[in-house]
Chains A and B, each alone.
Chain A
Amino acid sequence: MSRQAAHPPSLAEGFPDLSAMPIARQAHWGRILSAGAILAVLAGLIHAFATGQIAWKIVAQFLTVPVILHGIADTVIMAVLAMALGILLGTIVAIMRLSPNPVLSSVAAFYTWLFRGTPLILQLLLWFNLALVFPVIGIPGLWTGRAVDIMTPFLSALLGLGINQGAYTSEVIRAGLLSVDAGQYEAAQAIGMGRMRALRRIILPQAMRVVIPPLGNEFIGMIKSTSLASVIQYPEVLHSAENIYYANSRVIELLLVAGFWYLLVVTLLTPLQMMLERAYARGTVRPAR
């Protein structure tokens, strides 16, 4: 037996063992430089705003006056109700759009086309001024009323925002429904489910995972769209801010107050969305590494 054969196959010379040598930390010069530049710009901006024509005391003073607090409450209430209406309509329209019945799918396509194709502010004004078209509205034989009494700023804003939102939401939900594998629908049918039950029990819960992030986006958009309802006298926060600065001329200060509240509400939404996402992530496990 030769000496060679007793050893493992030999490795080539000239490649030292580096396993004991420490690895130095990399210096990220690019990061340090860009951070410095951004800090300088920020400092400049803060200085500009601090010394600019803004009375920060007035901003602080109006931040929590009752009119503004009512305004932000009305903003949030309207956004939640209009979004709920939008999701309800959007779900129905998305299901109609995917229906094999050509009448239903055309009606759904028409709705989306009409309400996405015209400016929201125009729709709000039309709802608010409905009395000019139909002085009396109601269900024939059951109940009627004068349109001017019924189409209050609240109802006009709710219908305008909600129905418009439904047109956008229907496309988000349709994308979610299409993302679910066709085999899921067949498996549901194979255990005797009808179309509606399969949608409700099997398809929609799976579509929710895909739908929540864009719906979160839509909801943030809705919070800001409620400001358009100020044109029809709905007392949301921007409308309240306007009313105050018409009286005291502190335009910028009150706009900053409104801006602060919008930012705060939108910020609070993020953890809410994460909770929803987690709830609908059931059954999606990543393989262990």
Chain B
Amino acid sequence: MNRPLLAIRNVRKTFGSYVALDGVSLDVMAGEVVCLIGASGSGKTTLLRCVNQLARIDGGGIWLDGALLGMRERAGTLHRLSEAEIARQRLKTGMVFQRFNLFPHKTVLENIIEGPVQVQKRAPAEAREQAMALLARVGMAEKAASYPAQLSGGQQQRAAIARALAMAPMLMLFDEPTSALDPELVGEVLAVMRELAASGMTMLVVTHELGFAREVADHIVYMDRGTVVEAGPPSQLLLAPREARTRAFLSAVIA
């Protein structure tokens, strides 16, 4: 069997005495799209933040492309990596936030070239050229000079996707990318994500859009109270869930 691009093993995350992730394990193969579903507070966002190391795990391990994230093993003990080493590991993942989080004091183009130029030290002209290609890909080429406040939510989210893609990540993380959008704007963002999935990008997507998950996901993972309850291909998980908790969640969401 192939090595998964992302391997999450027995990950624990606590906030004080509250256990947000309680031994989560899951694999994402290269080129796969995995959708995370689950009730509010089940730990989906926390899991994504741990993969991107915006949150520090308290136990277990996460491997991306074979490399252990955030820690190094030395003589049978784990040592946390430095801020700089963690920042370097983060370059392998791109993150798209629920609330877009574009930089409001920069134009769309400046948002996209910020990482390539400031962090990856690429030549500005080349970064700009690549950014324009990405903007064309998400249908935003004519908005390159606009500020985020001048854009609709759907346009902001497409720009945010382009910003993440500009760092050429091997894994894209999406945290409910459409849930802050007006209903009529959801489609344009999902269309961009569909195209991205079709191009072979590996994606881990937290979503409430079950239609999108059924159509695009290779696997769907259902989480509840910080644990993975059930995982499987969409046809199985959505249509013939094995666990009673999954059935209860799905009937509540669909009803």
Contacts and interface: CB of A to CB of B under 8 A. Distances in A.
A binds B: yes
Interface string A194-224: 1101000110011000000000000000000
Given A190-B164, A201-B114, 6 more contacts: A187-B101, A190-B94, A191-B119, A192-B91, A194-B87, A197-B118
Interface in B98-139: 99, 101-107, 114-115, 118-120
A38 to B, nearest CB: 42
Contacts of A192: 87-88, 90-91, 115, 119-120, 167
B133 to A, nearest CB: 18
Contacts of B101: 181, 183-184, 186-187
Contacts of B10: none
Contacts of A280: 105
Nearest to B55: A186
A188 B93 CA distance: 13
A233 B184 CA distance: 70
B115 A183 contact: no
Which residue, B84, B87, B150, has most C-beta atoms of chain A within 10 A? B87
B169 to A, nearest CB: 10
Nearest to B83: A194
A183 B147 contact: no
Contacts of B120: 192
Contacts of B114: 191, 201
A191 B167 contact: yes
A283 B118 contact: no
Interface of B: 52, 54, 83-84, 87-88, 90-91, 93-95, 97, 99, 101-107, 114-115, 118-120, 147-150, 163-164, 167
B112 to A, nearest CB: 10
A192 B149 CA distance: 24
Contacts of A195: 83
A133 B68 CA distance: 56
A181 B103 CA distance: 10
B149 A285 contact: yes
Contacts of A201: 114, 118
Contacts of A188: 103
A64 B62 CA distance: 74
A190 to B, nearest CB: 4
Contacts of A194: 83-84, 87
Which residue, A183, A187, A197, has most C-beta atoms of chain B within 10 A? A187
Interface in A94-129: none
Which residue, B91, B94, B115, B148, has most C-beta atoms of chain A within 10 A? B115
Interface in A110-166: none
A282 B105 contact: yes
B238 to A, nearest CB: 30
A189 interface: yes
A192 B121 CA distance: 12
Which residue, B101, B105, B107, B149, has most C-beta atoms of chain A within 10 A? B105
Q: Which 3 A-B pairs have the closest CB atoms?
A: A191-B115, A187-B101, A283-B147
Contact of B163 (A183, A184, A191, A282): A191
Nearest to B52: A190
Interface of A: 181, 183-184, 186-195, 197, 201-202, 205-206, 280, 282-285
B54 A189 contact: yes
Contacts of A282: 105-106, 147
Contacts of A283: 104-107, 147-149
Nearest to B119: A192
Which residue, A187, A188, A190, A280, has most C-beta atoms of chain B within 10 A? A190
A184 to B, nearest CB: 6
B102 A197 contact: no
A280 B118 CA distance: 20
A183 B95 CA distance: 12
B149 to A, nearest CB: 5
Contact of B54 (A184, A190, A202, A285): A190
B69 to A, nearest CB: 14
Nearest to A195: B83
Given A190-B95, A195-B83, A184 B52 contact: no
Contacts of B106: 282-283
9 contacts: A184-B101, A186-B101, A187-B102, A191-B167, A192-B90, A192-B167, A194-B84, A282-B105, A285-B149
A202 B119 contact: no
Contacts of B147: 282-285
A91 B255 CA distance: 54
Nearest to B88: A192
A195 B93 CA distance: 18
A56 B148 CA distance: 58
Contacts of A206: 103-105
A192 B89 CA distance: 8
Nearest to B112: A191
B130 to A, nearest CB: 14
